[in-house]
Structure 1
Amino acid sequence: SSVEAGQVANVIRDKGRRAAVVQGNLAQAEVPERLIREAAEALGPVTVLINNASLFEPDEVGDITQASWTAHQDTNLRAPIMLSQAFARALPAGTHGNIINIIDQRVWKLNPRFFSYTMSKTGLWTATRTLAQALAPRIRVNAIGPGPALPSVRMDQAEFDKQARLTLLGRGTSPGEISGAAKFILSQPALTGQMIALDGGQHLVWQTPDIVEVTE
């Protein structure tokens, strides 16, 4: 929300840094370019773009609606691509930039739940790699794929804790660890087209019925 964004900006300012809040509906075609422009006007050239805004609503193949499909694709796939386009256009000549897409470990471990969401995130994972090809060498494009990080609005703390315990490492991740991964990506000039899965090994969990219920 704008209130929460303002609170974060105030925390940054209290630390002696500059911050500005820009806001828009990413489902609207003209918004990405405006957001990049307003951020640049407030703070100077934008050299890092982190695409974090996301829609995460449940559906399965039997109950997909046009509205759900379109909303997920617009927010989770089209908007990051259009923001990346606007970012690349606005980046001053001779300046190097970075784009980091926040995706989801499930793009490496598919399941049929949250169908529209998963399709949009797998699309963004493909876009991460193709944008890395298209925007090199001036702009690096990478991704972070969190596992359990924060409970969703449909999940209580006990359910979240159980999900985290079932990962290989018995834990999820935290917002601080995600920001740490972003800092690492920014510090590595040879890194592009990659995703770091901060998921406690969730995408590698192997004790599924097709394995544990057979002997070879």
Structure 2
Amino acid sequence: MPSPDALVVAPGGCTPAHGVVLVTGAAQRLGRAIALDLAAHGWRVAVHYRNSAEEALKTVADCDRLTLGSAAFSADLDDEAAARMLLPRVAATMGPVEAVVHSAALFEHDDAASFSYAAMERHLRTNCGAAIILAQALAAQLAARAEAGEADAHGVLVPLLDQKLWNPNPDFLSYTLSKAALESAVTLLAQALAPRLRVVGVAPGLTLTSPWLSDEKFAALHRLSPLGRSSTPEDVAHAVRFALTNRALTGTTLLVDGGQHLMRFERDFSMM
């Protein structure tokens, strides 16, 4: 198997139309869908993963069939040192990074009865802290490029949030707290790191099934929205791409959920 930091190129890809985007958690599920969509629109994708090396290298190969120049990078975002090194590693291998999409997330169940400091800290580290560390690193890289005379050294961070922040329920307490902190970080980082770095959240609704849901239950819950459908991976990826390219957006969140945030759910989807 190739080195995790080795560039894996497959024949048939197009010449890049954009720069490098780092997508965390891009080996599987929603992160993979975002990576493939961005590659299809000319981005060179740095595919981050934690343990899923085989899946990450498949994502790299599939991205390279769309736009040449992707690579896979392993990092445990729970580890601050590893999180701090991730973006410099990407830049050293692929060149300057223009954007970061923070899709990686820890999603473990707890509630008011089972809450612990340890559970809260695990979720905060991966879901919120890593996004801030990546923003720091990207802002530092942009500043260095500006000092070197690059007039248009601008970038963007897009963290994935969750519609349940606008429609709260008490399930997955530590996860929800970490996403609430991340939503606040969107505002605070946008203020602190402008004008070179934009920060735009994207909040999906129920998008992919989970081990807690049968296919039938997932389909029924997906229809439970004002529009009669929640978000698909393609919807979310399209919103991420819009956030990356619209330079008038910062300090705000795009809710991509079919209107599910307008409804009242007593439980998390996976508990319904």
| TM-score, scaled relative to structure 2 | 0.73
Following superposition, the deviation at residue 188 of structure 1 comes to 1.5
CA displacement at 1:38 relative to structure 2:
1.2
Please list, as runs of the form range in 1=range in 2, the aligned pairs for 1:41-120 lying within 5 A after superposition: 41-91=92-142, 92-93=145-146, 94=151, 95-120=153-178
Closer, same or farther in 2 for the Cα pair 1:206/1:56, shift >3 Å? closer
> Given the alignment, which residue of 240, 263, 266 partners 1:205?
263
Structure 1 residues 30 and 45: alpha-carbon distance in aligned structure 2, compared to 1, 3 A threshold: same
2:243 aligned with 1:185:
yes
Query: 2:224, 2:230 within 8 Å by CA — same for their partners in 1?
Result: no
Give the distance between the partners of 1:64 and 1:159, measured in 2 at CA. Answer: 27
Would the alpha carbon gap of residues 178 and 35 (structure 1) be closer, same or farther in structure 2, given more than 3 Å must change?
same
Q: Note the alpha carbon deviations across 1:88-142, whole angstroms, 9 max, x for none.
A: 1122224000100101011111111111010000000000011000011111100
Cα deviation, residue 43, structure 1? 1.3
The superposition leaves residues 33-59 of structure 1 with CA deviations (integer Å, 9 ceiling, x where unpaired) of 211011111211001011110011111
| TM-fit CA distance, 1:17 | 1.7
Secondary structure of the residue aligned to 1:21 is strand
**TM-fit CA distance, 1:187:** 2.4
Cα distance, 1:206 vs. partner?
Answer: 5.2
Distance 1:121 1:206, change over 3 A: closer
Shift of 1:11: 0.8
- What SS does structure 1 have at the residue aligned with 2:57? helix
Q: Is 1:2 aligned with 2:53?
A: yes
CA offset at residue 193 of structure 1? 0.7
- SS of equivalent to 1:195: strand
- RMSD over equivalenced CA pairs, Å: 1.5
More helix by share: 1
Q: Which residue does the alignment assign to 1:127?
A: 185
- Runs of 5+ consecutive residues of structure 1 not aligned to the other structure: 209-216
In structure 2, distance between residues paired with 1:147 and 1:30: 32
Letter in 2 for 1:32: A
| Ranges in structure 2 where 5+ consecutive residues have no aligned partner | 1-51, 267-272
Distance 1:14 1:109 in 2: 39
Question: Which has the larger share of strand?
Answer: 2
Query: 1:16 deviation in Å?
Result: 3.9
Q: Is the 8 A contact 1:48 1:97 kept in 2?
A: yes
Structure 2 letter corresponding to 1:187: T
Cross-structure match for 1:153? 211
> Partner of 1:211 in structure 2?
none
TM-score (norm 1): 0.91
**Residue 107 of structure 1 contacts residue 118 of structure 1 at CA under 8 Å; is this kept in 2?**
yes
Deviating 4+ runs (over 6 angstroms): none
% same residue: 37
Contact 1:32 1:86 in 2 (8 A): no
Displacement of 1:154 in angstroms is 1.9
Question: Counterpart amino acid of 1:201?
Answer: G
